Structure formats: structure tokens, C-alpha cells
Chain A
């Protein structure tokens, strides 16, 4: 079969492109460790969050050396705690659930972004850098006050975090 030289080139470049796309995504997973939001958490009763160990008192807790967990409740129309205060240069895992309808949890301008579904707990782990402040928005339409549903994520220095004076909730 005769295949034109240009067509051979075209086929080769197409294969190169496919391999490059797969390669970069593989690099992202292996190198920087990019992960997807997994369905790893068990379900929860959204009507009984006040009896839940993690979500009755939304907060940030230290769970290891330089490791923190943030238990966040989204409800019409805000996030608790507000602000969410986490230390700089640490690993923070957010556990986010909803008390009512589907919300979004998007730390603006970052890759921290997940749906928040009543009955489910969304788990995302991130690494913080320098102290800074981020906004948080709900990016799933959730009712009449959706457009005002926002929160704050404050990344503070380790010493400031330890001196934050009890609970920021």
C-alpha cells in the first residue's frame, strides 16, 4: 500500500502527541503527585452533623508533625469555620460536607476545588506555602443566596497559628 510521505509524518506526529499528553499527565501524578478527589470517605447523615465528631464543631486540627485536618461545613449560605486558618508550609487535608444542598468549595485561584454533596465527605489534601489569604467561593448554584456564599482561607505562619487563641470557628 502506498502511503504519502506527508501522511506518514502526520500519523507519526499524532502518535507523538498522544504519547506526550499521556506522558505529561503521568509526570504530574508521579512527580508533583497530583491526585483526583476520590470517593474514599464513607457517607454521613447531613441532618445530624451536630452529632458528628468531625463536623459538629468545624475546625482545624493538628494530626501529625506538620499535618493538619480541616473539618469544613458548607451550608446555605456560607462556610464554617470562617475564616479557615491553616499554618504555612504544611500539609492540610480538607474534609468538606454539606448540611443542606449541593455546594462547591473552591479556593479561588488555586487547584483546591471540589463539589460538596450532602451525605458525602469530600476529601482533598494540599500543601500550603507562604502565609497568604485566599477567598473561598461556592461554585454550584445552591439557592437564592448563592452569589453571596463565600469564605476565607488564611494561611498564617506556624507561630501565628499556635497563638490563634482557641478556636477560629
Chain B
């Protein structure tokens, strides 16, 4: 594993920014998770928590 990666990096990565391994599916999936996480946080904090009656202020 390590040997083959080294070998490929030696040969393929010379050209500069071109990545030899682009897991676009994983990136998309993580992106979707990220959006769900942000929306859930906004909903939980601003709508459910701050939107409740009798917010404790002291």
C-alpha cells in the first residue's frame, strides 16, 4: 500500500495540482451531511431553544 502510493506520487504528482485520487462521491456525501448538520443546529438553537417561552436571562 505505502509502496504503491509512493510510487504513484513519484510518477503522477510531478505535474502539479492534478490529484490522482478524487473521491467526489464521498465529498458530496460529506457535503450533504454538513448541510444537514448546519440546518439542524440552526433549527435546534434559534427555533427550538431561543423560540421557547421564558428564556432564562439571569
B1-48 residues at the A interface, CB under 8 angstroms: 9, 13, 17, 19, 21-23, 26-27, 30, 34, 37-38, 41, 45-46
Number of A-B contacts (CB under 8 A): 77
Residues of A with C-beta under 8 A to B30: 10
Q: A: which residues have CB within 8 A of B?
A: 2, 4-6, 9-10, 13, 17, 20-21, 24-25, 28, 32-37, 91, 93, 107, 109-113, 123-129, 132, 134
Would you list 10 pairs from A and B whose C-beta atoms are within 8 A, ordered by A residue? A6-B27, A24-B41, A34-B50, A110-B54, A111-B52, A111-B53, A125-B56, A125-B57, A125-B58, A129-B53
Task: Evaluate whether A5 and B19 lie within 8 angstroms (CB atoms) in the complex, with A21-B41, A28-B45, A28-B50 already known.
Answer: yes
